[in-house]
Amino acid sequence: MNFPKELKFAQTDEWVRLENGIATVGISDYAQDALGDVVYFEFSVEVGDKVKAGGQLGQVDSAKASSEVMLPVSGVVTEINEAVSDDAEILNKDPYGEGWLLRIKMDDPAELEELLSAEAYQAYRLG
Amino acid sequence: MTEPTIFELSSPGRQGVRFPASDVPEVELPAAFRRKELPLPELAEIDVVRHFTRISQKNYAIDLGFYPLGSCTMKYNPKINEVTSRLPGFALTHPLQPEDTVQGNLYLMYTLQEWLKEIVGFAGVTLQPAAGAHGELTGVLIIQKYHADRGDTQRTRILIPDSAHGTNPATSAMSGFEVVHLPSDARGNVDLEALKGLCDENLAGLMLTNPNTLGLFDENVTQVIELVHAAGGLVYGDGANLNALLGIVRPGDLGFDIMHLNLHKTFSTPHGGGGPGSGPVAVCQRLVEYLPDPVVAIVEPGGEELPPLYGYAHPTKSIGRVKSFNGHFGILVRAYTYIAMHGRDGLSNIAKKSVLNANYLLAKVKDTYHLPYDRRCMHEFVVEGQWADAPGIRALDIAKRLIDYNFHPPTNYFPLIVHEALMIEPTETESIETLDAFADAMLKIAVEARENPELLHEAPHNSPVGRCDEVRAAKQLILRAPKA
């Protein structure tokens, strides 16, 4: 299972990559593995929305469960990966790449410090 | 072998029934009501009978074998229930008959209300709701109206533990409440510290299943209820797991304000496809006037020789009617039969034996299957269907392989707080031989998972259809056979 060092993670299994104040968000490799075959993904937010960390990002349905995906950071949604709505299986195939979910212009990049490092997240999930 | 659909068996012109010549004048149906095509299958009666008999034989049912579907209480449904509910005095009555002609039916419903009140320790009961989730909706609407009547309109949140059935958050959201998830602590109880932080003036209520879906009695239950009450909220009890408490603990005595009961679980009425369900709701004294309208009541007290007259009472602040007529009356007759047959001691014996059976089974499998919350269980338990030394094997593979051993699989992937969950509820109606046979199969499958994992991945092998493609089934919804 893959826990890329350059990413930050939320305890609710989302990852964040910060570049120039813009955070790219997705679900972790651990999350996609635990979900099993993903069937649908539905976004709860739109481009332009002002969002807060801890709110709902979307809903992911797999063959075994329906789960909420949470927003790990606060800010304004600048981009949404529509490809996920069309073909949610890419969340299984490439959770850190093609399966990214959305981009957020962060209000305060310092918020990132509240998230877990890859090592801490790996220890939290796999003990 | 796959059974063809009834349309595929159709042969043009074949008839099962020949109508006699009409002895009333024919009337032309207005063109607007006429269909161009009426694609009904055409078969002889014997072919229809054979088709449906063959399909029924592909079914798995509690009458065929062990059905340890966790949180569903798939106990044996005594056949006497089918006898009493078919008595002509019940089966041939009509809900619109004058009340003085259906006194027996009303007596039965009144008595059932009284019994259910006594069993769960509440002041009032409605028999209207058609199923458990319908009972939840009824209960949450009562919570809503109670707060609204008091002008307490800022109470917009309902707390739901993370081990709850999905119907709890769904019901709350559907009723317009904001759902707030409540975490469990390391022992599988409600996390009291998290609860304290959420008890404020916006709290409308908490929905709690006890024992919870891990099969654990919440050791904090009285503190949980006190905290919610102190904040002005109401506590809803989900009665899904009431079987473990019958005659031992009364949720009303613990301080719950409302709860639903599943007659199709706890009280042995048909369940799962064979229903319909029935989800009576019980309430404490301060909520009695909010019950759905009407409730069955004694409208004129009887005398020495004279039985009382039964009829309907109309709660003054009622949320209104939630079901046509009297709910699922035939199911009420079955539950009444079951309770009458068991009596007080029999009911507590049900709870004791259901807990004993679950603990017996748990003891047999827990060295082989990881038990995430290692406590004595109530009527059911949850283990993980995965092993570090059997990569690629998941709970689903184990569940499917159990079909090959002629068992219904346990509930899987629920509750969500356990990875690869297998949730096993044997119920009190199973013998020690059945429990042993099931445990043996579970242990054999654990060996197969290491030695021959393909056997699990490709299971089931002995069923009419093998492993279905669940992802494709969810994505490409084809709900009816294509036209021939």
B111-160 pLDDT tens trace: 999 999 999 999 999 999 999 999 999 999 999 999 999 999 999 999 99
In A, which residues are within 8 Å of B178 by CB distance? none
In a domain, B268, yes or no: yes
Q: Tell the residue number behind the tokens 């406590």, with chain if given.
A: B375
Q: How many cross-chain Cβ pairs, A to B, lie less than 8 Å apart?
A: 23
Q: What angle do CA B99, B262, B164 make, to 5 degrees?
A: 145
Q: Which two tokens stand for residue B403?
A: 């079909």
CATH number of the domain encompassing residue B201: 3.40.640.10
In order of start, what are the domains of chain A with their CATH numbers?
8-126 (2.40.50.100)
Please give the pLDDT value at position A53.
Answer: 95
Number of domains in chain B: 2
- The verdict on B171 and B320 lying in the same domain is yes
Place of tokens 């003085």: B100
Of the listed ranges A31-35, A77-81, B169-173, B262-266, the one predicted with least confidence: A31-35
> Last residue of some domain: B285, B315, B341?
B341
B398 to chain A, closest Cα gap in Å = 14
Q: Which residue of B has its CA nearest to A40?
A: B475
Q: Bridge partners of A76?
A: A50, A105
Q: Which one of A33, A38, A64, A89 makes the best mutation probe of the B interface by having the most chain B beta carbons within 10 Å? A: A64
Compute the distance between CA of residue B396 and CA of residue B422 in angstroms, rounded to an integer: 9
Same domain, B161 and B237: yes
Q: Are residues B220 and B331 in the same domain?
A: yes
Same domain for B356 and B308, yes or no, is no
**How confident is the model over B405-434, as pLDDT tens digits?**
999 999 999 888 898 999 999 999 999 999
CB contact under 8 A, A37 and B471: yes
B368 in Cβ contact with B384 (< 8 Å): no
Facing residue for A39 by CB, picked from B166, B412, B471: B471
Return the minimum-mean-pLDDT range out of A48-57, B234-243, B263-272, B462-471: B462-471
ipTM value for the complex: 0.73
Distance from CA of B473 to the nearest CA of A (A): 9
Structure tokens at B315: 């709660």
pLDDT at B471: 83
pLDDT at B129: 98
Residue of B nearest to A86 (CA): B475
pLDDT band at A122 (very low <50, low <70, confident <90, very high): very high
Q: Is 60 exceeded by the pLDDT of residue B484? A: no
pLDDT digits (tens, 9 = 90+) for B186-216: 999 999 999 999 999 999 999 999 999 999 9
Nearest Cα of chain A lies from the Cα of B474 at a distance, in angstroms, of 7
Do B293 and B404 fall into the same domain?
Answer: no
- Chain B residues with beta carbon closer than 8 angstroms to that of A66: 166
Q: Do residues B221 and B360 share a domain?
A: no
Mutate to test the interface with A, among B213, B398, B471 (most CBs of A within 10 A): B471
In one letter, which amino acid is A88?
A
CA-based nearest residue in chain B for residue A55:
B180
pLDDT of residue B17: 85
Same domain, B355 and B285: no
Residues of chain B with Cβ-Cβ distance to A65 below 8 Å are: 413-414, 416
Q: Given a cut of 80, is residue B480 above it in pLDDT?
A: no
Residue of B nearest to A67 (CA): B416
Q: Of B27, B153, B104, which is closest to residue B332 (Cα–Cα)?
A: B104
How far is A73 from A122, CA to CA, in rounded Å? 20
B59 in a structural domain = no
Average pLDDT of the residues of chain A = 94
Residues of B in contact with A85 (CB under 8 A): none
Do B103 and B223 fall into the same domain? yes
Cis ω for the linkage preceding B183 (within 30 of 0): no
Token pair listed for B443 = 């242990």
Q: Which of residues B299, B318, B341 is at a domain's end?
A: B341
Average pLDDT over residues B298-305: 94
Judged by DSSP in three states, A93 sits in helix
The minimum CA-CA distance between A12 and chain B, rounded to whole Å, is: 12
Does residue B245 sit in the same domain as residue B273?
Answer: yes
Q: What is the reported pLDDT for B473?
A: 85
Contact B474 A39 (CB under 8 A): yes
Within this chain, do residues B314 and B372 fall inside the same structural domain, yes or no?
Answer: no
Which pLDDT does position B146 carry in this prediction?
Answer: 98
Q: What is the pLDDT of residues B326-384, one digit of tens each?
A: 999 999 999 999 999 999 999 999 999 999 999 999 999 999 999 999 999 999 999 99
CATH number at residue B454: 3.90.1150.10
The parent domain of residue B413 ranges over 346-473
Whether the pLDDT of residue B273 is over 90: the answer is no
- Which residues from chain A sit within 8 angstroms of residue B470, using beta carbons? 37, 63
A94 pLDDT band, cuts 50/70/90, is very high
State whether B166 and A66 contact (CB < 8 Å). yes
| Same-domain pairing of B296 and B352 | no
In a domain, B260, yes or no: yes
Q: Which residues in A lie closer than 8 A to residue B471 (C-beta atoms)?
A: 37, 39, 63, 89
B166: nearest CA partner in chain A: A66
- Chain B residues contacting A, CB < 8 Å? 166, 394, 396, 412-414, 416, 419, 470-471, 474-475
C-alpha span between A117 and A28 (Å, rounded): 13
Per residue, the 3-state secondary structure of chain B, as one string, reads: CCCCCCCCCCCCCCCCCCCCCCCCCCCCCCHHHCCCCCCCCCCCHHHHHHHHHHHHHCCCCCCCCCCCECCCCCCCCCCHHHHHHCCHHHHCCCCCCCHHHCHHHHHHHHHHHHHHHHHHCCCEEECCCCCHHHHHHHHHHHHHHHHHHCCCCCCCEEEEECCCCCHHHHHHHHCCCEEEEECECCCCCECHHHHHHHCCCCEEEEEEECCCCCCCCCCCHHHHHHHHHHCCCEEEEEECCHHHCCCCCCHHHHCCCEEEECHHHHCCCCCCCCCCCCCCEEECHHHHHHCCCCEEEEEECCCCCCCCEEEEECCCCCCCCCCCCCCCHHHHHHHHHHHHHHHHHHHHHHHHHHHHHHHHHHHHHCCCCCCCCCCCCCCCEEEECCCCCCCCCCHHHHHHHHHHCCCCCCEECCCCCCCCEEEECCCCCCCHHHHHHHHHHHHHHHHHHHHCHHHHHCCCCCCCCCCCCHHHHHHCCCCCCCCC
Q: Are residues B238 and B328 in the same domain?
A: yes
Closest CA to B365 of B354, B349, B350, B380: B380
